[in-house]
Structure 1
Amino acid sequence: MHLRSSRRLRAAVVGAVALALALTGCTGSSQPELTYTPPKQAAGSLPDDMTAQLQTAVQQAMTATGSSGAIVGVWVPWSGQWVTGLGTQAAGDKTKVTKDMSFRIAAVTRMMTCDVLYGMADAGDIKLDAKVPKYVSGVADLGDITLLDLCNGTSGVGSSAETAKPYWLNTPDRQWAPLQLASFGLGQQRGPAHTAYRDSDANYLLLGLALERESGLSASQLIKKYVTTPLGLESTSLPSPASAEPEPAPALKGAYLPPAEGGGYNCAAPVDITKSSSSIGFTDSGAVSTIEDLGRYAQAEARQALRDKDAKPGRFEKPLPAAADAPAWYQATGGAYLVGSMVGQHGWVPGYATAAYSDPATGFTVAVTLNDSSAGGAFAAYLAWELAAIASKAPAAKGETAPDFGLPFTAEQYAKAITDGAICKAG
């Protein structure tokens, strides 16, 4: 799939014409050479009427979430693509959002952290079933929990986000120690281990610490080594904890809405929080990217391009329900959600709500970020799924053939979910 710019093409590891990436072993251990060739992407844009539908959906989500801007990428290999920025940097700011702006990718970082785990395990440098206390001090009560449990979200540990959120918003420059942040989740009542999925940032904070200790490298270095370098993601990184705007410049400005008198949010007074410390998310949600990189990563991740095709165990082979009341097509494992046939992630970090999903068989990919985090990550997921449902019906371009591809939900279903859950109203 040609998620490309001239800069990225120059940086491709191998095969600029075919967009093939030669993925070599990421450690000193001996590994077979792997090759990832993205599927062919039809040239040109999606049909005008479909683009209009997609744009309307994004604009409605922007209104519902109080976002002044959004960046979106929709890649339909058999039909075309739509990659754009919509809106402005902030309310009252006439600076238009452009598709080259960088932003925080929130829980998509989880998939990268699990990439590192599997990369090290495939090289024989760490064991998936190693117990957490072997690598992380102060968590002796996790003696039955493995590194794979952390990646799969099956440790039973609670999430730190709701407790930490006020601190993040009020002191975004603060640099957090990962274990200190994870302690908010560790202090909650535990759920069942090994057998049930629980959405918890603490899992990935602890996993990042374990990987750092075993490798002797920082989490930033690990993600560069195992993810961004082999996939040629020039504009993706886990930044240092020093407070800063997303890079590379220009950055999409991020905001949150303060509470309103009588409840709800003051949608007329967004607070800029573009500059913050990546330690707020660390290996759970600290990474930054651009829409082209994010789409490229989502597609490669769905296809498990960073692993040999015969590598065992299969990362997405045994998913669990994403929630007790989740529909059968919504499952979780391996640091990702499985939504019908698509694989991806969604979430929020102060200032941004981001989602990215891709179908491994066809390369069909959707990625989106909204520049206000107040409504939470679910709205980014709803928008991504709505866009996917619209674009899945794209006709084949001249000379192309549309595959047998469909989704277990409709665009109308998630348009309604966004409207019904809106925290801000039009006008």
Structure 2
Amino acid sequence: MTGSSRQFSRSGIIIALVLVCCMWAACKNSNSTSKPDVQLAMEQVVSQYMMKNNIPGAIVGVWVPGEKTWTHTQGTADLTTGRKIKPEDKIRIASITKTFTATVILQLVDEGALNLEDTLDKWVPEIPRGSEISYSEKITIRHLCNHTAGIYSFTENKEVHDILITDPLKKWTLEEVMKYTLELDIKGNKVPCYFEPGDTYENGNPKIHYSDTAYELLGMIIEQVTGNKIGDEIQNRILDKLELKNTSFPYGPEMTGNYSRGYVQKQEGGALEDFTETDPSAPWAGGAMISNLYDLKVWAKALAEGSLLSEATQQQRLTWVDWPQLPLEGMNGAYGLGITCMGRLVGHSGTILGYNSAMFHLPSRNATIVVLLNKGNPGAGDACAVNICYLLAKILFNWFPEHC
């Protein structure tokens, strides 16, 4: 959910890459790697990350048309009952929600109801609580979608973090979210914006600061334009059209049907605590949704191909801004309009208390990788799912992805 949740662990990546490269060298013949050896290498990556990060359960899917379909589950869905995790189990998908929110925004652009260059003050003239975000007359919908608005994220506020941990069932209002955006950061400084919208670095690249608040504002814009709840718009425009029957935008803390419980380890060496029931009102348009492996497989492909958008608008979505906060050797990251580029892989990842997820599609091979984990910790060390995706792509295609 937070910007830090997209940070990669260098030590974890290096350890895993050594393992992968050793196995690759051992398995490789003159032309290719046999399917059993590829599967073993992928299982080893998942096991290594689970063991290193004390993750109870993992659900992984790999689909390479004409070559491989691999669904792998490992570990436990419920530490109390001991129930094993299943491929169909649902989890909270956190910031993957942003891909749905941005898609609705872009559909409204296609319909002429919005323009990517519309400014925030046009659609949200009165920010909740009567305050104004700095540069609201300059922040555009495009800036909000690709995190170039410079807006401080409410999830960076220490008080918010503490409340989410101690009172996960708290029902948040948008007024409260904006309060923590407009008032103080964790150091007590008043920082409503980090930089002017669209500002650039010395090399000319746009500045980027990942902000959950930006997507709260996009949710408000959707509701202002349509007159409907954002969850209803996502349901009607995306979930129903793609028949994503195991995906939902909840308004309460309950999970229904087949789902894995979610766990948090508050301190290193500490016990895992159950955080399955958390209220979605804080993450909301930037992180509230629930889904499962099979629905995300469908969605990752539709997102990458733009099947619900016009060709021109999809091209806008895939206009990348360099994301230097992804410190992974041999690869650069980038962000589009509600979509991440990790080399040639496009998709998104997400972390929320209790869960960690990633889904990526490789258009050149029509391949999809989805990783779901039932442990999500705030702060560093919570990007295991996206790391696993990267390493599985390395095994499958024997490349380190270049720039988007």
State whether TM-score is above 0.5.
yes
1:385 aligns with 2:378: no
- In 2, distance between residues paired with 1:310 and 1:208? 23
Instruction: State how 1:346-425 maps to structure 2 within 5 Å.
Output: 346-374=349-377, 376-393=381-398, 406-408=399-401
Give the TM-score, by structure 1 length. Answer: 0.75
- Of stretches 287-296 and 305-314 in structure 1, the one that deviates more from structure 2 is 305-314
- In 2, distance between residues paired with 1:47 and 1:166? 46
- In 2, distance between residues paired with 1:391 and 1:76? 9
Output the amino acid matched with 1:60. Answer: Q
In structure 2, the residue corresponding to 1:101 is in which secondary structure?
Answer: coil
Post-superposition shift, 1:218?
0.4
Which of 237, 249, 253 is the aligned partner of 2:261? Answer: 253
Which of 132, 137, 144 is the aligned partner of 2:138? Answer: 144
Give the TM-score, by structure 2 length. Answer: 0.80
1:291 aligns with 2:293: yes
Q: Which runs of 4+ in 1 moved over 3 A?
A: 90-93, 185-188, 310-313, 324-328
Provide the residue aligned with 1:422 in structure 2.
Answer: none
Post-superposition shift, 1:307?
1.1
Post-superposition shift, 1:92?
6.0
Provide the residue aligned with 2:21 in structure 1.
Answer: none
1:118 aligns with 2:114: no
Q: Note closer, same or farther for the CA distance 1:147–1:344 as it changes in structure 2 (3 Å cut).
A: same
- In 1, distance between residues paired with 2:155 and 2:269? 19
Which of 209, 214, 225 is the aligned partner of 1:203? Answer: 214
In structure 2, the residue corresponding to 1:252 is in which secondary structure?
Answer: coil
Post-superposition shift, 1:361?
2.8
| CA deviations over 1:133-181 (Å, ceiling 9, x no partner) | 2222223522210111111111101222243222112211111123422
| CA deviations over 1:234-253 (Å, ceiling 9, x no partner) | 1111112x2212x4x11111
1:331 aligns with 2:334: yes
| CA deviations over 1:1-27 (Å, ceiling 9, x no partner) | xxxxxxxxxxxxxxxxxxxxxxxxxxx
Which of 336, 343, 346 is the aligned partner of 2:346? Answer: 343
Instruction: State how 1:2-401 maps to structure 2 within 5 Å.
Output: 47-91=35-79, 93-136=81-124, 137-138=126-127, 139-141=132-134, 142-163=136-157, 164-187=160-183, 188=185, 189=191, 190-192=193-195, 193-194=197-198, 195-240=206-251, 242-245=252-255, 247=256, 249-259=257-267, 264-266=268-270, 269-311=271-313, 314-323=316-325, 329-374=332-377, 376-393=381-398
- In 2, distance between residues paired with 1:274 and 1:179? 25
| Ranges in structure 1 where 5+ consecutive residues have no aligned partner | 1-45, 394-405, 410-427
- In 2, distance between residues paired with 1:366 and 1:135? 37
| Ranges in structure 2 where 5+ consecutive residues have no aligned partner | 1-33, 186-190, 199-205
Output the amino acid matched with 1:89. Answer: A
In structure 2, the residue corresponding to 1:280 is in which secondary structure?
Answer: coil
Post-superposition shift, 1:300?
1.1
Q: Which has the higher contact order (CA 8 A, sep 6+)?
A: 2
- In 1, distance between residues paired with 2:277 and 2:314? 41
Q: Note closer, same or farther for the CA distance 1:313–1:58 as it changes in structure 2 (3 Å cut).
A: closer
Q: Is the 8 A contact 2:362 2:368 kept in 1?
A: yes
Post-superposition shift, 1:350?
1.0
Q: Is the 8 A contact 2:247 2:290 kept in 1?
A: yes
Q: Note closer, same or farther for the CA distance 1:219–1:392 as it changes in structure 2 (3 Å cut).
A: same
Q: Note closer, same or farther for the CA distance 1:257–1:199 as it changes in structure 2 (3 Å cut).
A: same
The RMSD of aligned alpha carbons is 2.1
Q: Is the 8 A contact 2:317 2:339 kept in 1?
A: no
Output the amino acid matched with 2:165. Answer: L
In structure 2, the residue corresponding to 1:331 is in which secondary structure?
Answer: strand
Post-superposition shift, 1:282?
0.5
Output the amino acid matched with 2:171. Answer: Q
Higher helix proportion, which one? 2
Output the amino acid matched with 1:198. Answer: H
| CA deviations over 1:84-113 (Å, ceiling 9, x no partner) | 321012446421100011111111111111
- Of stretches 49-58 and 116-125 in structure 1, the one that deviates more from structure 2 is 49-58
Q: Is the 8 A contact 2:93 2:287 kept in 1?
A: yes
Q: Is the 8 A contact 1:178 1:209 kept in 2?
A: no
- In 2, distance between residues paired with 1:257 and 1:90? 15
Q: Note closer, same or farther for the CA distance 1:76–1:182 as it changes in structure 2 (3 Å cut).
A: farther
| CA deviations over 1:213-236 (Å, ceiling 9, x no partner) | 111010101111222122221111
- In 1, distance between residues paired with 2:319 and 2:336? 8
Output the amino acid matched with 2:214. Answer: N
Q: Note closer, same or farther for the CA distance 1:206–1:179 as it changes in structure 2 (3 Å cut).
A: farther
Q: Is the 8 A contact 1:256 1:270 kept in 2?
A: yes
- In 1, distance between residues paired with 2:175 and 2:331? 34
Post-superposition shift, 1:265?
4.0
Q: Note closer, same or farther for the CA distance 1:333–1:213 as it changes in structure 2 (3 Å cut).
A: same
Post-superposition shift, 1:116?
0.5
